[in-house]
Amino acid sequence: MSVSRRTFLRSIGAGAAAVTAAREFGFPARAHAQKTLVVCGWGGTTTVAQREVYFRPFEKETGIKIIEATPTNYPKLKAMVDSGNVEWDVVDTADRMIFSGVRENLFEKLDLRALDVKKIDPRYVIDVGVGHKAWSTLLSYSTRKYTSGNNPKTWAEFYDVQKFPAVRCMRAAAFDNLEIALMADGVPFDKIYPIDVDRAFKVMSRIKSHVKVWWSVDAQPVQLLTDGEIDLTTLSAARIIALRDKEGAKADCEWNQGIVHMDWWTVPRGAKNKEGALQFINYVMQAKPQAAMSNQVPFGPTNRDALALLEPTVLKNLPTSPDNLKRQLVSDRNWYAENLTKAEERMKAWLLS
């Protein structure tokens, strides 16, 4: 990276510092820094639930006040770290970003001795983060169009515009869509990675003109499904299940061939309250808060004891429940570590052509 770029980022940081200073004006600065923790999450229903089951109880137990920031935004994170003025202490980080973040040195190495991870599935403890919520991308449909059982059940059927004429909606992104295209073309789970990108785009070209809306934030398909504007879309399990069970929308989902992802708690390099960050991670990774989270929003917990605390009615909606897991593909963050940017660039060009 060039010097001028760094200067540029530093000046952004200076602006951020001025804002922070203004916000803290009137407080004894040092005591304030110790007593607050800035947690950056994804916003929407997830943040509402996290506030209730993580932030409030944590504040009560530790006296550390949580300041919420949303949504997770990588260019912003990178600008903060590069400028040395990091506003966030803990960040809810997506799977596909974690290794590119490691490559760009955006995260603190966590002191594993200070972390209480005995009960956490060891696959989800790495040196820069702890995996805390599994979520899935699912084939979702309007029940105005399909009664349950008559819906498309595989991606091959999602791609079959003759047998399933419908108003389709897909994410304007390569991740997930490449895997979906390969599954639609009959590739079994264990042959998906490394992704044959050329083949995936060739398959996607079959359906391109039949997709009415390409969404960029999941609030779009949520709204369009609710309004009956679309019949078929890809959507996260948490969002579609909340729509179905809590908001009574005429929509449902198919677990078959879903794609499971993991989100991680990370600490940005240079975070101001690292100690508080570790305290926070330890607190929310306990079985009870994790289970409470799954009760609010159907995310899969990674603390092994959390599953035992959940009712069967909740379990059946989790991406990581045994029944659901065996029908799904697990997204490979290693592949995305190397290929995400290139794949997304190609996707953008493909969408426009």
Partner 1 sequence: MAPQLRRGGGRFGWLLLPFLALFALLFMVPLVQLAIVSVTDPVPGLSNYTRALTTPVYWKVFTTTFNVAAGVTLVALVLGYPTAYVLATMRGRWVAVLWALVLIPFWTSLLVRTYAWMVILGRRGIVNQVVQGLGLSDGPLDLLFTRFSVTVGMVYILLPFMILCLYAGMRGIDTSLLLAAENLGATPGRAFLRIFVPLSLPGVVSGGLIVFISALGYYITPALLGGRTDMMVALLIDEQISQLFNWGMGASLAFILLFVTLGVFLVANRVVGFDRILGAGREA
Interacting residues toward partner 1 by CB under 8 A:
1-2, 4-5, 7-8, 11, 73-75, 78, 167, 172-173, 208, 211-214, 216, 220, 227-229, 341, 344-345, 348-349, 351-353
Say if residues 178 and 234 touch (Cβ distance below 8 Å): no
SS3 127: coil
Minimum Å distance from CB 50 to partner 1?
A: 23
Burial 11-48 (b: 16+ CB within 10 A, else e): ebbeebeeebeeeeeeeeeeeebebbbbbbbbbbebbe
Minimum Å distance from CB 1 to partner 1?
A: 7
What's the CA gap between 318 and 324, in Å, rounded?
Answer: 7
Give phi and psi for 229, each to the nearest 5.
Answer: -80, -25
Minimum Å distance from CB 4 to partner 1?
A: 5
Say if residues 189 and 329 touch (Cβ distance below 8 Å): yes
What's the CA gap between 81 and 98, in Å, rounded?
Answer: 15
Which residues 6+ apart lie within 8 Å of 193 measured at CB? 332, 334, 335
Give phi and psi for 260, each to the nearest 5.
Answer: -90, 135
**One-letter identity of residue 156:** A
SS3 17: helix
Say if residues 346 and 174 touch (Cβ distance below 8 Å): yes
Name the residue nearer to partner 1 (CB basis): 42 or 58. Answer: 42
Name the residue nearer to partner 1 (CB basis): 97 or 134. Answer: 97
Minimum Å distance from CB 267 to partner 1?
A: 20
Minimum Å distance from CB 237 to partner 1?
A: 23
Task: Give the residues across from 243 on adjacent strands.
Answer: none
Name the residue nearer to partner 1 (CB basis): 98 or 120. Answer: 98
Name the residue nearer to partner 1 (CB basis): 73 or 295. Answer: 73
Question: Which tokens sit at 230?
Answer: 């679309």
Name the residue nearer to partner 1 (CB basis): 31 or 352. Answer: 352
Sole residue written with tokens 């999602």: 158
Minimum Å distance from CB 126 to partner 1?
A: 22
Minimum Å distance from CB 345 to partner 1?
A: 6
What's the CA gap between 260 and 253, in Å, rounded?
Answer: 14
Name the residue nearer to partner 1 (CB basis): 61 or 227. Answer: 227
Name the residue nearer to partner 1 (CB basis): 327 or 342. Answer: 342
Minimum Å distance from CB 351 to partner 1?
A: 5
Name the residue nearer to partner 1 (CB basis): 92 or 276. Answer: 92
